[in-house]
């Protein structure tokens, strides 16, 4: 394989990895920006998305239906959790959220194990995307290119939603000053339920999309939650653009680190995060330390 072809394939690999990480990070950062809470259950909901997606795909035979259905169902579940549990805690200390979402992570993780068993489940990607394309005479899976494309589409969609849509405007207003937004007649409670649901739905989207690559397994929650935290911290808690930059940075560090220095790949990610935080304690685009 020529150096150029290698660089190209690794770059596209890194971009597709970044896309998956972005779905996680952006949900986490939206939730944090609006509610100032760290959602420990984000990884568990990502896993839930993968398994729900597996069931929908197995039942209907269509990956596309799973891709639409799983984020919707998990998003509704998230909104329901906010409505029934989290809502009672807004006047409390931040550590109450930490504990409740940690509890949720345990409950969801165990419920998934009880429902779908402990074995990793193979999720078939859509047949249309199962082939390979040749880039500089090297075969490359179409599915990874598809991930890059959908990452771009989702990023642009969220950006436009936050900038243009009325709900996006209300979300930004509530993030900046919830009391003022409330005084101006914004239904802050409804906004919070929506954003928590959207964030959870995005995590599930990541889970469904990752499933054909890595299989749906019980272990997928634990590793991914840390990746998501790292991305959000690097980018700056609550910053949409920051989560995009963080996802790209970590995607490249993971893929290239794994290729060139597999022994140190795991440590690289944390070193990058430490370096960023020591220089800018609030993250690259964060406002506060």
Contacts with other proteins, residue ranges (CB under 8 A): 32, 38, 40, 85, 88-89, 91-96, 98-100, 102-107, 109-111, 113-114, 222, 226, 229-230, 233, 237, 263-264, 266-267, 270-271, 273-274, 277-278, 281-283, 286, 288-289
- Determine the angle formed by the axes of helices 42-60 and 3-35, rounding to 10 degrees: 110
CB of 101 to other proteins, least distance (A): 9
Q: Looking at beta carbons only, is 136 or 267 nearer to other proteins? A: 267
Question: Could you tell me which of 207, 244, 229, 170 has the C-alpha nearest to residue 32?
Answer: 229
- Quote the least distance from Cβ 147 to other proteins, whole Å: 25
Residues 64, 66, 68, 71, CA torsion sign: negative
User: Do residues 214 and 122 make contact, with C-beta atoms less than 8 angstroms apart?
Assistant: no
d(Cα 47, Cα 247) in Å, to the nearest integer? Answer: 19
Min separation Cβ 40 and other proteins, Å: 7
Shortest spacing between CB 37 and other proteins, in angstroms = 10
Q: Residue 249 Cβ, how far from other proteins at the closest point, in Å?
A: 14
In the complex with other proteins, the residue whose CB is nearer, 132 or 226, is: 226
| 3-state SS class at 160 | helix
3-class SS of residue 280: coil
Token output for 103: 């509890």
Smaller CB distance to other proteins: residue 59 or 260? 260
Return the structure tokens found at 54: 């597996």
Whose Cβ is closer to other proteins: residue 56's or residue 273's?
273
């Amino acid at each position: 394989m020529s150096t150029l072809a290698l660089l190209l394939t690794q770059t596209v690999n890194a971009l597709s990895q970044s896309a998956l990480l972005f779905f996680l990070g952006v949900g986490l950062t939206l939730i944090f920006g609006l509610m100032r809470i760290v959602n420990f259950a984000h990884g568990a909901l990502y896993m839930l998305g993968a398994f729900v997606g597996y069931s929908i795909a197995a039942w209907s035979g269509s990956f596309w239906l799973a891709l639409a259905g799983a984020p919707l169902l998990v998003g509704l579940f998230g909104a329901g959790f906010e409505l029934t549990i989290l809502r009672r805690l807004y006047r409390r200390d931040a550590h109450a959220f930490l504990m409740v979402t940690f509890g949720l992570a345990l409950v969801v993780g165990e419920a998934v194990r009880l429902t779908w068993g402990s074995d990793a489940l193979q999720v078939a990607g859509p047949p249309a995307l199962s082939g390979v394309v040749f880039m500089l005479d090297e075969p490359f899976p179409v599915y990874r290119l598809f991930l890059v494309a959908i990452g771009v589409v989702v990023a642009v969609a969220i950006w436009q939603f936050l900038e243009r849509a009325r709900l996006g405007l209300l979300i930004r207003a509530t993030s900046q000053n919830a009391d003022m937004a409330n005084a101006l007649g914004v239904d802050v409670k409804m906004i919070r339920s929506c954003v928590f649901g959207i964030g959870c739905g995005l995590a599930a989207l990541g889970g469904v999309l990752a499933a054909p690559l890595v299989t749906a397994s019980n272990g997928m929650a634990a590793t991914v939650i840390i990746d998501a935290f790292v991305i959000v911290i690097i980018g700056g808690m609550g910053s949409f653009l920051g989560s995009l930059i963080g996802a790209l940075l970590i995607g490249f560090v993971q893929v290239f680190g794994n290729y060139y220095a597999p022994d140190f790949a795991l440590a690289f990610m944390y070193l990058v995060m430490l370096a960023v935080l020591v220089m800018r304690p609030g993250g690259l685009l964060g406002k506060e330390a």
